[in-house]
Structure 1
Amino acid sequence: MSEEIGRVGGPKNVREALLISSETADRNRHEIYEFGPFRLEPAERKLSRGDEVVTLTPKVFDMLVMLVRHSGHLLEKDDLIRSLWPDSFVEEGNLSNNIFVLRKALGNDREYIETVPRRGYRFVGAVRQLPPTGRNAISGVLEGQIRDVPSRQTRRGWKILFAAAAALLLFAAVFILRRFRGENSASSPNSPHLAVEQRLTSNPSDVPVRAAAISADGKYLAYADPTGLYLSQISSGETRRWSLPKDFVVFPRSWYPDGAHLLVVRDPKHPLDSSLPNPSLYKLSILGGEPQKIMSNAWGGSVSPDGSRIAYLSHTNAGDLWIMDSDGANARKVVAGPDPNKGGAGQDLIWRVVWSPTGQHLAYIQAHYRNAPDPVEPISSLRIVDPDGGGASVVLEDARLGPVALWWGREDRILFSYREDPANAQRNYGVYSIRIDGRTGKAIGPPQAVTRAEGFIEGMNGTPDGKRLVLWRLRVPAQVFISDYDPGTRQWKEPRRLVLDANENLAWVWTADSKAVFFVSNRNGTWKLFKQAIDETSPEVLVEGPSISDPRLSADGTQVLYLSSSNPDDASFPAEVMSKPIAGGTPRVVIQGKGIGNFQCAMAPSTLCLFSRDGGDYVFRVFDLEHGAGRELLKLQHQVWSENGSWSLSSDGSKLAIFLDQHRIRFFSIATGAAQDVTVKDWPLQNGDWGANSQTVFMPSHSPAGVPVILEVDQTGKAKVVLQGKPNADFGWMIQSPDSRHAVLGEYIPTDNNAWILNDF
């Protein structure tokens, strides 16, 4: 006989509980645990795998005992450190190193220890405590007293003592259990128990999971990464690659109810390149055979619970929602998005659509995008509509609502991603649910937390019975690198990391002497403006605030400018362009207004500074640091403007480069007002920045094989590759230093992008 365990000892606090459990390891001789192929005997200080003894250092062994004894519960880092090193001060890195050693000893192919970011660790393997046998069933303390039979009065005293001790232990166990569940004395007594996300895939950072879907019976996971599409049996972890034609790149979207077929979207190798085939929906069979095409110019598909219909999104207008029969026939529009011909493209987009369990309703998330720089995110709304387009209602509208993850778990419960702390700049998303009235489609109460973790949730789906939910997390922070120019070979050298921080870091401007860069970072949960020399490893903090972005340099090089907003999630709040002396001083407001999306200054001897504002049309105005906004320079109609609103002012102040779409650039003369449009063939574009010579523009792009590159493009549209990156780590920008010897680059580096599962949540 054996029993599942997940228990906590009973002293006054976690530290004491851990210390006691460590100190009593040798006394509790009946204590034996099993998990996986391992057998743990604390009293014997022995860990074995079958007949093989696994050697661990004393600290690592003690840590394993603590984790196993409190299986399923979070052990805080500080408590672990105090318990393992009670009489010493050690760095947190010592604990991390011991965790690494322990994981390696247990085998990295199986996940026993879960890391809860910034908090601690939890043992998530199934643990069994074996029953006592033979002499070991009696502890050493009681064994010595069993020889002398106590009197009736003594026995009564022992009963009272044991009853009091049991009550004390029960009270302490409840207290510690609350602590391990993330509750404290200030928590609501009705706070829900949060589910634990368990890892399903273990892809390395350079092979990120891009999409995943769980079968209706909860037995299989289909997931895609840059190497292909895979089918994994969840219970055993057995995984095989799906046999597909060469260059047939697909992402799983939805299983059919028969569990034998999968709806996928076939995407071009890079979605920015409009010259490649448009995305299309296909049906795959788990038994093999050729992919069956269902619909062209479509993506984001969701199969109805009875398998008779498919809801999907239009590639032509991403604000439209459609449904069709399962074979692609009888397509009809359910929701109409903004008209692209009237300036509505790129504003209100639908990213996810799912069916209700009965198939009588559709739920979708509509994201409203604003022309604003990072880190401003879209305002999203959760909406319900009938398949015939009637019964439309808004369930939730909230800037904290994630735009791309959604699942209808049970008839009255919809799950979605939701930003944990609106004040935290790192913007971690948890899974939340909201209950709805099936008759009115209105929310019943506020969103409720299901699970909390670190990172952005890229998507989710679950089983029809609502017992299993799969999600995949995405974390691709922008990182700052420096590349040096070799005048001898006329080549840019391999970039080296400048900012030694794994959070979001955005560096877009140099000091006038080319010795340092300014960048913003969301480390520690707050946006900060930093200055860092290119030969140093530590930055200097200049400004801290709730929303700081777009660092720029004044024309005379004495001021650093940046964009700020007291509430970046609310478009009704005005943005402010701030100025702070580099030598030190108090920041002050230069210009203020709604819809400010970008601003830049040329370099001396030019004094020109420009900003753009979205007010239906895009207006460019001159400004200066003393008098604020000045004359209007240029106005562009909405429909000819780029979706990302990117433009760059040359360092000599003579030209403006405006990126109209994926292949066209408009060069505008400041002096004459003349405009010239050029086409960059064969390369998809997003943005760009003038080189130091004010003659060419540096732009991130991708090769036909999907390899990230930096292009140097002249004013005739001729492009050449000047730097090539690594697969799956996109370039974001390249800005040359004033002396032309260096360039600061942004690279989006994947970290831990994998699929996770929630059971019985």
Structure 2
Amino acid sequence: MTDHKFSVFKFEEIEVREREFLLVKDGNSLPVEPKVFRVLLFLLRNPKRLVTKDEILNAVWNDCAVSDNSLTRSIATLRRLLGDDSREPRFIATVPTIGYRFLCDVVAVEEGVNEFAMDETHLLPEIDTKNHPKPKFEPGRKRLSYLSLSGLCILLVVIVAAWFLVRQAVSTRDVHRPFVPHLATEERITSNPPEAPVDDAILSRDGKYLAFYDNLGLYLRQIANGETRAWGLPKDFVAWPDDWFPDGTHLLVTRREGPSRTLSLWKLSLLGDDPEKLMDDAAGGSVSPDGSRIAYVPGPKFGSELWVMNSDGANARRIASARKPDPPNLGESWIQHPAWSPNGTRLAYVEARFATAQADPEQFANSLLTSDANGGDLQVVLKDDARLRPALWWTADGRILFAYLNDPTSEREDTDVDSISIDEHTGKAATPPQRVTEGQGWIGRLSATSDGKRLVVSRENTTRQVFITEPDPGNHWWKAPRRLTLDTNESLATAWTADSKAVLFVSDRNGSWKLFKQNIDETTAEVLVEGHGMRFPRLSADGLQVLYLVESQPSDHSFPPSLMSRPLAGGPPRWILRENGISNYQCARAPSQLCIFSKLVGSDHVLVSFDPEHGVGREITRIASGGYYWSLSPDGSRLALVLDPHRIRFLSPDTGAAHDVNLNDWPAFNIDWSADGARLFIRSITPAGIPVILALNEAGKAEAVIEGQVGSNFAFFIQSPDGRHGILEMPTPGDNNAWMVENF
């Protein structure tokens, strides 16, 4: 086998003002950003040694005040260049909360080729900024390569070379994103604390104003001087910004109103005029460049269709419908974030869908499409892309900006802004996508000025965390919850151990989704199962096994997930079954042996029994529309299913006998049975937007037992088997703010 080697060295060109660094293999060059390059050098000088984050930060950033995020992004970039995987590292391993370790041997190899010497002064020489001379290579000077890889490392280098060539091919599913040595810089323009996270932020077309919404209301900010004031609206007027009209004085908003929380589109004025209603039962509006039309999604099934109306609300007509899923195991799709082309002849939008309904973490299969503004001529720009996120803007120079997860191994799933040039006449892609900027967190909204010189990115850094609560003696309320998982990464708990002393959860705190167990009176967690792509831990009927789903190939939704089990007392994992479209599963408690999983079959939600020893059993029930949220009673005698937001069905798995209960005053989302099987705990919300957990009996009596705060949210509530505690899953906001990019 040929001994492949990487050479790492600094390279300068007379035409380039700033330093450029390359990772070179057999003459093929991979550009590396300077800080990233220096991180690599530090790791290579310390092979197989655990180096702390502080060591690297001090060596590379020279004691400058930078956060761990800068180092995390540098490591992620190196992994992309090396073709490494944080979940199964072969080059760079993450040691959680401490630092990193370079796994391969590093051998200095002397060759008769001219290059830099090993020491730092030769490696990073000073530059004459006026003349920019190229380094002079003298005959006979020794070459020192940092890596001489053998065995597995040699094989991996070959893989890296193959990756570099393959990534140059352009396809609609996984397109080449050329390296951008100098990405545009995001600068924060709002500074809201986690207690008041910015949810939506929209830049006016002239770049003078920013409209943004947080849990306290709608605000207007002047870009030039930063002056911010609340928009003068009636107290009961709860609305968030959708888009600005091109005159720069009117704002299109979606309003939520009334006990039923209906949505409608309104026009607000900076000049003090009263709010003007444009359309009932509508949301998510986008104003055409000339201000004459508005694209929006109508209710009651928001996102199933895309409509266009005149700017005064007249002449509403449908122009597109969400397509049926293909393959059928993908969830139903919905249309989000319509964006107009520069001359108003076409619309772009994201057709979003969950690859697996209710998955934790959520699995996507989103598509980017363009359509004629009058309907028809549908063009698919990106198809069923697991890394595409639903935030769009079509710029004046013909680029569609979109949110994209370029690094799928990102511990926090940080999202970038990418762009793709579109032929406005055909609606098809004219060039491969190009990364524009990167930052920390999810992108909720994009907006730009008419001249294309300013871009605003609304970023969210909310993570779901596990909280513990207990009943308040003497009344039906539960006490204020306390946080159990003391980590900034996501932690998703869906089960208790049989003795009610510990919770089972998955978390990405170590760089990939692993399965943990944590006692409720402790602050640290124990890793039960290593690996990646894990979700939905549940307990077997006898309480001795933990069941969990594994996405073997998260980026390929045609590959079905596997249901696994592992003894809580220790032992190897065991495969149970593999099915497409699994969305949830639960087991009753002994002496019942009933276990059920649900899956999508076309548009139907099908519930099927299974046995942890023998696999798939019989079909229990099939729901044509609805049934995404369901729960099996502890004794296995009843199923509860949410048919629609205000109707719950109680069904016997044995006989099929069923009766429905209406929740006229409450919308129902996630549901779980109480420990004694007498009630359901339901995630809901009040007309004022306050999150609550309801307790509902089969006679239809509902009462709130936990109440949150305006702007907060509950995911679900699961009572411990002994009834003395409950898991309360709550999204916890971080740095949710708006950022601006100039001359992108």
TM band (smaller chain): 0.7 to 0.9
Structure 2 equivalent of residue 348 of structure 1: 333
Distance in 1, Cα, partners of 2:516 & 2:312: 55
Partner SS for 1:731: coil
1:676 alignment partner, one of 653, 656, 659: 659
What letter matches 2:269 in structure 1? S
Aligned to 1:281: 265
- Partner AA of 1:299 in structure 2: A
1:381 pairs with one of 363, 367, 371:
367
Output aligned runs, 1:449-528, within 5 Å. 449-487=435-473, 489=475, 491-528=477-514
Instruction: Look up the SS of the partner of 2:430 in the other structure.
Output: strand
Equivalent residue in structure 2 for 1:646, among 611, 629, 640: 629
Amino acid at match of 2:296: Y
Given that 1:426 and 1:526 are in contact with CA atoms closer than 8 Å, whether structure 2 keeps it comes out as no
Q: 1:607 to 1:93 in 2, by over 3 A?
A: farther
Change (3 A) 1:92 1:757: same
Distance 1:498 1:210 in 2: 26
Q: Which letter maps to 2:733?
A: P
Matched residue SS, 1:257:
coil
Whether contact under 8 Å (1:516, 1:532) holds in the other structure is yes
Are 2:326 and 1:337 equivalent residues in the alignment? no
Structure-2 residue corresponding to 1:263: 252
* Partner residue, 1:572: 558
What is the deviation of 1:404? 2.4
Deviation string 1:700-733 (CA, Å, 9 cap, x unpaired) is 2222322222111111121112122233221111
Distance in 2 between residues matched to 1:11 and 1:444, nearest whole Å: 29
Question: Taking structure 1 as reference, are residues 602 and 479 closer, same or farther at Cα in structure 2, changes over 3 Å only?
Answer: same
1:759 aligns with 2:742: yes
Distance 2:21 2:376 in 1: 58
Partner of 2:524: 538
Coordinate RMSD, CA, aligned: 3.6
- Residue in structure 1 matched with residue 568 of structure 2 by the alignment: 582
Residues 285-314 of structure 1: CA deviation (Å, up to 9, x unaligned): 111110111111111111111111111111
C-alpha separation in 1, matches of 2:187 and 2:399: 22
* Equivalent residue for 2:280, pick from 287, 296, 300: 296
Q: Which has the larger radius of gyration?
A: 1
Distance 1:733 1:450 in 2: 37
Q: 1:741 to 1:220 in 2, by over 3 A?
A: same
Identity %: 49
Relative to structure 1, the CA distance from residue 721 to residue 171 in structure 2 (aligned partners, 3 Å threshold; closer, same or farther) is farther
Q: Which residue of 2 aligns with 1:206?
A: 195
Deviation at 1:411, TM superposition (A): 3.9
Structure 1 CA distance, aligned partners of 2:679 and 2:536? 22
Residue 322 (structure 1) aligned to one of 295, 301, 307: 307
Q: What is the distance in 1 between the residues matched to 2:199 and 2:619?
A: 44
Counterpart Cα distance in 2 of 1:511 and 1:8: 61
2:343 corresponds in structure 1 to 358
**In 1: Cα distance, 2:494 partner to 2:650 partner:** 21
From the superposition, tell whether residues 78 and 331 of structure 1 become closer, same or farther in structure 2 (CA, over 3 Å): same
- How much has 1:635 moved relative to structure 2? 2.3
Runs of 4+ in structure 1 over 6 Å off:
7-13, 72-79, 93-96, 168-174, 185-189, 343-346
- In structure 1, the residue matched to 2:621 is 634
Q: Against the structure 1 CA distance between its residues 102 and 292, is the aligned structure 2 distance closer, same or farther, given a 3 Å change threshold? A: farther
Residue 605 of structure 2 corresponds to residue 621 of structure 1? no
2: distance between equivalents of 1:387 and 1:12?
46
Q: Is the 8 A contact 2:21 2:34 kept in 1?
A: no
Q: What are the superposed Cα offsets for residues 154-206 of structure 1, whole Å, 9 maximum, x if unpaired?
A: xxxxxxxxxx96549987999xxxxxxxxxx9999963421111101011111
Deviations 1:418-452 (A, max 9, x none): 01222446322110001123343222343211111
Distance in 2 between residues matched to 1:587 and 1:750, nearest whole Å:
35
Are 1:10 and 1:171, in contact at CA under 8 Å, matched by a contact in 2?
no
Distance in 2 (alpha carbons) for counterparts of 1:701 and 1:424:
32
Aligned length, in residue pairs: 616
Equivalent pair of 1:339/1:345 in contact (CA under 8 Å)? no
Go from structure 1 to structure 2 and tell me whether the alpha carbon gap of 1:8 and 1:444 turns closer, same or farther (over 3 Å shift). closer
CA distance in 1, matches of 2:18, 2:600: 60
Task: State the partner residue of 2:647.
Answer: 664
SS in structure 1 at match of 2:510: helix
| Deviation of 1:377 (Å) | 2.5
**Structure 1 counterpart SS, 2:714:** strand
Local SS of the residue matching 2:530 = strand
Residue matched to 2:291:
307
Map 1:595-606; keep pairs closer than 5 Å: 595-606=581-592
Structure 2 counterpart of 1:608, from 594, 600, 606: 594
**C-alpha distance in structure 1 between counterparts of 2:226 and 2:36, whole Å:** 27
Q: Which residue does 1:248 correspond to in 2?
A: 237
Asked if the contact 2:719–2:725 (Cα under 8 Å) also holds between the matched residues in 1, the reply is yes
Does the 8 A contact of 2:348 with 2:370 survive in 1? Answer: yes
* 3-state SS of 2:366 partner: strand
Structure 2: segments with no counterpart, 5+ residues: 1-15, 23-32, 44-50, 75-124, 136-160, 165-176
Alignment of 1:136-155 (within 5 A): none
Unaligned runs of 5+ in 1: 1-6, 14-71, 83-88, 104-112, 122-163, 175-184, 270-274
Q: CA deviation at 1:401?
A: 4.4
